[in-house]
Amino acid sequence: ALMLAAQGGHDDIVSVLIQEARRRAVDQQVRLHPTAASASLKANQAANGGANQPSTSSSAKSSTKASRVGSAKPREKNTTLSVDMARAIREEVQRRLDMQDADGNTALYHAARNGHAPCVRILLQANASRYLCGPRGETALMAAVQRGNSRVCGEFEKMVRSLERGGVPTLALVGKSLYAVEQDKGGLAIGGLLIDVGTGEMKLLALLQFDAAELHELAVIKMKDLAMKDSADAFLQSVGSETYKTIVAKLLSGIDVLVQMDWYQQVNWVNCFMGVTAWYRHMSADDKAAADVFINALKQEFDAHLKQKKVMQVHLKSKATPLELEWQAITGSTEAQCEARAVEYAVMKSNLSPPFAVLAGGSGSVQITGQDALHSFKASLKDGEKLIESGERATQVGEWAKQVEGNFEGGMLTTVLKECANREPVRIVCMSGFFYAAVAAKILPSKPSSYEYISAEHVVAKLQALCDDAANTAKDVANAMRLLTLLRLLFEEHYTNVSILFARDWKLPSQGRPSAQFRTTWTSGWWLDRVIEHHMAY
């Protein structure tokens, strides 16, 4: 029914069906957990001053006081059950929103393809997944782009533009007095603690949303300093081992650093999340089970320290509760999409036009992300470097270009990108290894004071000159030729409408605060998606 309503552009029916999906999900949880549901209802009524009575001024003061960061008592068992129920309700609603028809398409896809902007807006606000692809690899946004529907495309852009509405989500104000709002330097913020467990290192980060998003490193743990080959090696150690103790100690010291930060009292905490990446995805089932034991033990100690330091999670209509760590394996697709979201935001905050796609040159592969889709292929920089060093330079550079082309295998995203470049201006952001290719080609300095889009024709000429100069290292040539070959495959040397921005770290303007440090990593993109959810919800 939802799919048919979206396809026909019946936005009022779409709204009703989403509300009905939520009601059914709640009813299902009430039937499964009647005791917990009753306790949760009573707790919510108490937090709101009674079931059927308006809040008095004294109860409002009590509620505000209870919501202050660090002032609430640890949550009771019944409240924990209600959190689990809320998660189950969200998952069931998500399942209904993202149901696919026989062709693999969703309600959001049908609304976008048929140009029904109001339906697209309602579905996006309800958190319908924009990243699901049909069998042809076409996303909902791609369907709108291919049909030139600017109104529908605008609805997708609004999700990131919601961060530009001014101020921060309502949750930043909970438990804060008017005096604090007026006196706090730079205003108030919501914040999230994120642990990024990469292959070679793990970082504890504080992501904040003041006027602009900010990233602060609280702790960094390099696996080589632990005499570990990588994170997989480290997380297979036993609980209680020296490796385990060192990792826990460094993470807990990061929390100690957090509570001493000059902005700490200005922040209401809403998330605490750890993402494990490629090293975990490549583990066997037995190794994953062993790593899970390590991670869950780490979580217990991390949660206990958060509770001891009174780092609290703020809720809009109930008491603050101790912040608790959740963890999840991050898929390669999620990593790429989150990085693209971070790039999109950084470009927007820098008053530049949004990119159509992001090209990222990793050490082993190349990723093309855009229009809510991902295309990835193998192109190992080390392989290219070895090949170029193995014989006559010009011949081997040509062989490397053939290898890159052979691995490319374009998809729907690259097809749409090529078609758009033939009829309208297309902007591309290049990052990761491709930034260093641009530096080596003298397209921009290693530490540019600002970023700007550059003509693709100029970029191609500079990259070609680098590859032709025998004085350059094999590594730089391999990297430059990898990007040069990709651009030729994408645009078939029709570069007139194409401009490229090369970027690494960003300094974003923030009202009332120093320029904020921001990195276009998956952690930043993940956090921005959470901020968008809070903006849309409140």
Q: Is 50 exceeded by the pLDDT of residue 501?
A: yes
Which DSSP symbol is given to 242?
H
Task: Please state, in angstroms and rounded to a whole number, the distance separating the CA atoms of residues 104 and 138.
Answer: 10
Segment 323-348 shows an average pLDDT of 88
Range in 60-64, 329-333, 462-466, 514-518 the model is least confident about: 60-64
For residue 268, what pLDDT is reported?
Answer: 87
Collapse the DSSP code of 516 into the 3-class scheme (helix H, G, I; strand E, B; otherwise coil) and give the result. strand
Q: Where are the beta strands (DSSP E) in 198-283?
A: 201-209, 213-222, 267-276
Question: Is 350-503 assigned to CATH 3.40.640.10?
Answer: no
For residue 522, pLDDT over 80 is answered with yes
Can you tell me the distance from the alpha carbon of 151 to that of 170, in angstroms, rounded to the nearest whole number? 28
The third-level CATH classification (topology) of the domain covering 170-330+519-537 is Nucleotidyltransferase; domain 5 (3.30.420)
Mean pLDDT, to the nearest integer, of 131-155?
84
Confidence at 410, pLDDT banded by 50, 70, 90: confident
Q: How far is CA 238 from CA 115, 189, 219, 245, 505, in A?
A: 55, 38, 22, 10, 36
Helices 433-440, 474-491: axis angle to 10 degrees equals: 110
- pTM of the model as a whole: 0.76
Instruction: For the chain, give every domain's residue range.
Output: 2-164, 170-330+519-537, 350-503
Count CB atoms within 10 A of the CB of residue 177.
11
pLDDT for residue 88 is more than 90:
no
Phi, psi of 318 (to 5 degrees): -150, 175
Report the residue count for the chain: 538
Q: β-pairing, 357-361 with 365-370?
A: antiparallel
Position 435 confidence tier, pLDDT thresholds 50, 70, 90: very high
With respect to CATH, is domain 2-164 assigned 3.30.1490.20?
Answer: no
pLDDT band (50, 70, 90) for residue 60:
very low
* pLDDT given at position 73: 37
Domains 170-330+519-537 and 350-503 share a fold: yes
Residue 189, SS3 per DSSP: strand
d(CA 95, CA 91): 6
Query: Is it the case that residue 35 has pLDDT exceeding 70?
Result: no
The predicted pLDDT at position 183 comes to: 47
The residue that leads in pLDDT, 274 or 447, is: 274
CA distances from 328 to 83, 323, 351 (A): 17, 17, 34
Query: Of the ranges 158-172, 360-374, 418-432, which one carries the lowest mean pLDDT score?
Result: 158-172
Mean pLDDT of 490-506: 89
Q: What's the mean pLDDT in 328-350?
A: 87
Tokens 């989150």 correspond to 338
Report the share of the chain in percent with pLDDT over 70: 83
Residue with tokens 């600017």: 150
Confidence grade of residue 134 (pLDDT, cut at 50, 70, 90): confident
Instruction: Please tell me the distance from the alpha carbon of residue 59 to that of residue 70, in angstroms, as a whole number.
Output: 19
Q: DSSP 3-state assignment of 517?
A: strand
512 to 115, 190, 215, 216, 531: CA distances (angstroms):
40, 16, 17, 18, 20
Determine the pLDDT at residue 66: 33
Average pLDDT over residues 1-27: 88
Q: Which amino acid appears at position 347 of this protein?
A: V
